[in-house]
Amino acid sequence: MILRLAWRNIWRHPRRSGLTIAAIAFAAFLLVFMITLQLGSYDMMIENNLSVLTGHFQVQRQGYLDKPKMRSTIAEAQSLAETLRKINGILDIAVRANGFALVASEQRTYGTQIIGVETAHETQLSTIPKRIQSGQFLSSDNAQEVIIGEALARNLKVKVGDELTFLGSGYDGSIAAAVLPIVGIFNSGLSEIDRGLIEMPLTTFQEIFSMGESAHILVGMVKNFNDLETVLANLTGFKNLSGLTTDLVVLDWNALVPGLRQMIEADKINGWFMYGCLILIVTFSILNTFLMAVLERTREFGVMLALGTKPLFIGKLVILESCLLTLVGLAIGLLFGTAITLYYYVYGFSYPGMAELGAEFGLSDTITPQLSILAFTLGPTAILVFTLIASLYPALRIRLLKPVDAMKSV
């Protein structure tokens, strides 16, 4: 009976109830869509940043991240990488060797970072091979050639076909020197990389810097980013069997790029603050509706109290009315929010100028909303909780009513 009474009372003022339901539905729709889109944008940010050079995880000697010394190497790195590629969930692993050298063209000299890469595996892990603006990517692991960042090429005043002279220090302390031609110029989309990075084939790097079969890091990508923690657990547990000695560590992207996580967390706080403000606005709007309904029905409640109805029953009735009103609005908002989210999940969400920005910097030109239970339920659940709390105040006012005084109310 109480459910039938609550449902009937909601529609005693259909216009007011309709407006309240519309406000709740709009807030729920907005929260569902914006939260899924925000979480999806984080996935895009992570993927765009990690796919340039960093990878999802790296295997390196302990302490190398803080102090990247030339002698902090992994022995027989390519053999180890071949073994680790067999672990379930790993897309690919590439071996890299890092060094620094003075690089001279006919007109200028700069100090730059040199990376030796496995050409066959690098295309699976990095977007740089796909971002060659002129020329081509490295042809093989033992080719005597390099590719160079666009900004660095501009500073050195070189183009494809020109030669660069390298002068650095080798693994054994010897002088590392070579003259290699430029076969490609890339634009990674990150200015610090384009301004100070040169890539050369891994075998060529090992010969020039006297490293033998050693390298500095193994860079890996997983097939499904959501399975990263599981893959890392398997990789860590695989240490002894695979040959990973105790002085080697497995670092995920949080350790490799801590600033990215901090930026995401800061943006989340800003987003939650905005969503909280929206929920509070809706809550006070609904509180006003519920309070007006109670004030208008004061005489009715007085008659019910005079006939013996307990204040607790009337309070339950008011709370149930607010609950039903909220649930109807949330259902409508969740329905439309889910529909628009699924649409953009299939076709991608883009705002004006995003396609041009993505084409210029090699980034994704659309955002794919994240489909998760948390994203769909967080906003509506918060609205439901706050509106139920707001409905407690009108319900508690009923306990203060006196039947005679209430029946005299106009």
Reported as a single tens digit per residue, the pLDDT across 197-232 is: 999 999 999 999 998 889 999 999 988 888 888 888
Binned at pLDDT 50, 70 and 90, residue 49 comes out as confident
In 10 A of CB 109, how many CB atoms?
Answer: 12
- Report how far apart, in Å, the C-alpha atoms of 400 and of each of 168, 397, 406 are: 86, 5, 10
**Cα separation, 266 vs 269, whole angstroms:** 5
Tell me: the pLDDT tens digits for 257-278? 888 888 888 888 888 888 888 8
Of 183, 200, 197, whose CA–CA distance to 133 is shortest? 183
The helix, strand and coil proportions of the chain, stated in percent and rounded to the nearest 5, come to: 55, 20, 25
Burial annotation 383-410 (CB, 10 A radius, 16+ → b, else e): bbebbeebbeebbebbeebebeebbeee
β partners of residue 148: 185, 198
Tell me: the pLDDT tens digits for 68-120? 888 888 888 888 888 888 888 889 999 999 999 999 998 889 999 999 999 98
In 10 A of CB 339, how many CB atoms?
Answer: 12
**Cα separation, 47 vs 67, whole angstroms:** 26
The whole-number pLDDT of residue 406 equals 58
Of 56, 101, 94, whose CA–CA distance to 197 is shortest? 101
* pTM for the predicted model, two decimal places: 0.74
Q: Which residue has the tokens 């944008």?
A: 41
- Report how far apart, in Å, the C-alpha atoms of 181 and of each of 96, 200, 233 are: 20, 10, 42
Which tokens hold the place of 250? 């497995």
Q: How far is CA 377 from the centre of its chain?
A: 19
> Would you say residue 361 has pLDDT above 50?
no
**Cα separation, 247 vs 388, whole angstroms:** 56
Of 409, 392, 327, whose CA–CA distance to 28 is shortest? 327
For 122-151, what is the mean pLDDT?
A: 90
Q: Fill in the DSSP letter of residue 107.
A: S
Tell me: the pLDDT tens digits for 285-325? 777 777 777 777 767 666 776 777 776 777 777 778 788 88
Whether the CB-CB separation of 107 and 164 falls below 8 Å is answered with: no
Strand 109-117, strand 197-201: pairing: parallel
